[in-house]
Structure 1
Amino acid sequence: MSEKTASETASGSTGGAGENGGASLIDGRAFAKNLRQRTADEVKAFHEKHGVTPGLAVVLVGNDPASEVYVRNKALETHRVGMRSFMHMLPETTSEGSLLHLIERLNEDPEIHGILVQLPLPKHIDPFRVTNAIAPNKDVDGLGEVNAGRLMTGLPGIIPCTPLGCLMLLKSELGDLRGLNATVIGASNLVGKPMALLLLNEGCTVSICHIDTVDPAAVARTADILVVATGNSRLVKKDWVKPGATVIDVGITRIPTEGGKTRLVGDVDFDEVAPIAGRITPVPGGVGPMTIACLLRNTLKAARMSIGDKACKESGDKNWLPY
């Protein structure tokens, strides 16, 4: 992991972490690169032992340019780690019934081990019905009610990619999380709720702030670990952060700058918070790269589950799921 501090990033200094009062930057790019390489090595070993190449099917409904780029990047990374990628690009007018029929076929296809339907979906399609139509052992996004329920009850399952990536970064930085106070700002099914459950399962004392929280800044200031996932750019200011806290910024928003250009920012006001925090993820280069890396891990996990309990246990993955 990088030990460069926020102040070093601004000044070009190569001094030790935090020596100028700035937070150590949590290098999600480097962590994700190592995770992808480890996944590629395990995919190769899995194929040599079982004769199976993990396959990931990604379904995109509509022609949103940003989603198209994101989906193609997923396909590229899938190939890079030695997996097979199956792309399904459907028109905006695709009916819910047609999409559910495709998912049914993918569920039954033995060459497909993971299925991901890119969100958001067009308004005429019910995302909950679609998500729950994916077979739980192929639900590599971990958003179906079976995997969500297993996470809530502390049972092994497939964990949503972004919260899993955040947890990996936290444990790499802090080690044992037991006894720490954690606050999650944002209560979405995609990030906030599963993130809170993961932290709870790690032994943290967890608070969740949402749109109806009366004084979220006061709650946030109690946190040793602060995870922010709201979609509101630069919401969290320095007076929200406990000195020395570890801050994980999940948000990413493109904002205009001078000269007609744009830049990416997170849900945390980095310039304000970095001098206060002990550790912080930058945007970009923090949580973002971890999402696809964890998607690849989940696909490999799903392929192991397709072989059976023995392959999952042999992998050393404590989160194997015996369907």
Structure 2
Amino acid sequence: MEQVNVESSAYARIAGLLLRFQRLFFQVKDEFIYGGYLTSLGCPAFVLSVSLLLGLAVDWPVLLIAYLVPLVVYSYNYYEELEKDVATNPERSGHLGKKVKLYPVLFGVYMSLLILLLLLFANYVFTIFVLILLSCGILYTIVFKDLTKQIPGFKGVYIAAVWALAGAFLFNFHYSVTWGVFSVLMFSFIFLRGIINVTFFDIKDVESDSARGLKTLPVLLGREKTLKFLNVLNIFSFIPLILGVYFNIIPAFGLSLLVFYFYDLYYLRKARVVNDKNLRMISYTLADAEFIIWPVVLLLGRALIGF
């Protein structure tokens, strides 16, 4: 009888440990997804993709700076928009609300680390460019978001343009690479893919954006017409990439990124039939993960195509 009690106690301890591990896992997962960490990986992925297409190495401080810039911007935006997100982003607002008092501290840590990296590793021109990107990102929340009330679709164009500037030119500014047609094509490609991403995200916010008078494309067109528009844009967004390869400006393995036509096609079709909760999850995972996978696909493409 005593042995049975000992075994039961051991099983109970193991079960307790597994339960605590499970809770910790889901807490880390929610923080990674809703805390802006996953989304912020897109910018260094752009920089790494540009370096692969140029055939030039990129240093880790540049990638870390490229990661911290959007992390600072998103942290500020999430903090300022927390109360407004309760209705349309309950999972994110519920998670972030638990650490709302820590947000000023986290924001300070991110900013301090970014400034330190700029002082240690960045040149003057690169630093100015990073500060401009930061200002553009934060000023959107403070000032420019209201322009979406007057200018239809302004939000998607503005945000996509800022991150396309970061993705296409951070490498150039740090390594003093001469601007050329390659940079223009990469900016155009990232910009068009970014509009798909931002507009898709806006679908889940239709009710709140409409109530606030924001003229995003989903508010103006509705879900069905917005998804049709994004399907068309999903095709045309690859034109800069194809032109670059055709004129030998972008290496042939860059065409490996065409697989993301099918990637976006999958989640755009899925968005037609899912409920609001699953739509938000698709936005935070599948849509955001696309850009992170770019360098992996390019490496595979380079290995298979060889030029």
TM-score between the two structures when normalised by the length of structure 2: 0.29
The higher-RCO structure (CA 8 Å, 6+ apart) is: 2
Name the structure where helix makes up a greater proportion of residues. 2
Question: Normalised by the size of structure 1, how large is the TM-score?
Answer: 0.28
Work out which of the two has the higher radius of gyration on C-alpha atoms and give 1 or 2.
2
